[in-house]
A and B are shown apart, each in its own frame.
Chain A
């Protein structure tokens, strides 16, 4: 269908973009990849009266690792992540995730920042960023601030971004040695949202026990879910059949899925249980292989 009419703005700098957003307030939406927003506009589920297209802002499409952080510019496309040797080899959880977002054509435009800013619990990067313990850099009229990912998602399609702010960078801590992660997503077909998906990132200590673990869930609640009880039970423990089984059950308990065409509540919760166990094992195997 045809979207509602809007005024189009194409700022050439972050300052210009945030000034526009400050002036236009709730009537404006940021246009980044547009692969979540434009479909909503075509269905008239979203009818912003102004679009602020940030794609002309230079120097926002970088992937850089330095000083213990992987810094991703706001205009990094999902396909850029897939093509990055750095991401594939050193951030396998992120690589896994980018490959299962939508389809290859959508990924040429879809941005990782947009995937977070849209605030859709069905999007894949939120859980991955929660598992990685990332940070979002937001720029607004008052300057730049850093938002820890655990504070970023505030409700369905709602984030901690103020109306005048755009995400300019996402910062992922470089994992320590003996770390690995995995993202497992069950979807009915390529391009679908997850029936359920689980992101795991773990670090083993010298003694083989779990030093740090992040477990987060996609599309099984009104917001992306950090499975904190599952994480707590693994800290300091060796990952074996017993501990993995307990963590997987706790992750399933943390899920609050809605019944829909993808399945009933019990099925989705059990999927979380199975996917969590598999993702933990896959991450463990990746640590072992490294």
Chain B
């Protein structure tokens, strides 16, 4: 089946089996390997991308479902060589160790901060509760999101 998707603003087309998972389209067919596969059970969220602006677990969506729709992956955060405030914040606050969960954390946080400009710590913890991290204990991830929220509120 032909699938037409727009990823990070670029149009792509591919001929795929219906059973191809969206995460495999992104990683294997389109070679955007920033999106990660961390589990087999829809738990970890390392595969989180935005589908028409909403975070979804791309391992639990078929590529054909994304036909004609817009996807944003972690590669889309950087614009014209400039990192997004979330990426800067994760660096500043040491929000990653191995980095495996990080793309998922970034995409979930990106969508979350668009809807919530001034979240509390508890708001952030609930927002990222679909993204699992085995390294950090989440503390610096929360700080990173708070840091980014502050930057974005100041127009950064």
Question: Which residues of A does B touch, CB under 8 Å?
Answer: 1-8, 10, 31, 34-35, 38-39, 41-43, 51, 53, 55, 79, 102-106, 108-109, 190-191
By beta carbon, the residue of chain B nearest A42 is B40
Can you give 13 A-B contacts (C-beta < 8 A)? A2-B19, A3-B19, A10-B64, A39-B41, A42-B40, A43-B40, A79-B54, A104-B108, A104-B126, A105-B48, A106-B60, A108-B56, A109-B60
On chain A, the residues within 8 Å of B42 by CB distance are: 35, 38-39, 106
On chain B, the residues within 8 Å of A2 by CB distance are: 19, 21
How many Å lie between the Cα of A41 and that of B20 in the bound state?
Answer: 12
Q: Which of B40, B62, B126, B131 has the most CB of A within 10 A?
A: B62
Nearest CB of chain A from residue B120's CB, rounded to whole Å: 15
On chain B, the residues within 8 Å of A39 by CB distance are: 41-42, 60
By beta carbon, the residue of chain A nearest B60 is A38
How many Å lie between the Cα of A31 and that of B108 in the bound state?
Answer: 24
Q: Which of A4, A108, A109, A191 has the most CB of B within 10 A?
A: A108
On chain B, the residues within 8 Å of A79 by CB distance are: 54
Interface residues of B in 64-105 (CB under 8 A from A): 64-65, 67
On chain A, the residues within 8 Å of B126 by CB distance are: 104
On chain B, the residues within 8 Å of A104 by CB distance are: 55, 108, 126-127, 129-130
- In the complex, the answer to whether B56 meets A53 with C-beta atoms within 8 Å is no
How many Å lie between the Cα of A109 and that of B129 in the bound state?
Answer: 16
How many Å lie between the Cα of A92 and that of B1 in the bound state?
Answer: 43
How many Å lie between the Cα of A7 and that of B130 in the bound state?
Answer: 30
How many Å lie between the Cα of A10 and that of B64 in the bound state?
Answer: 9
B121 at interface, CB cutoff 8 A: no
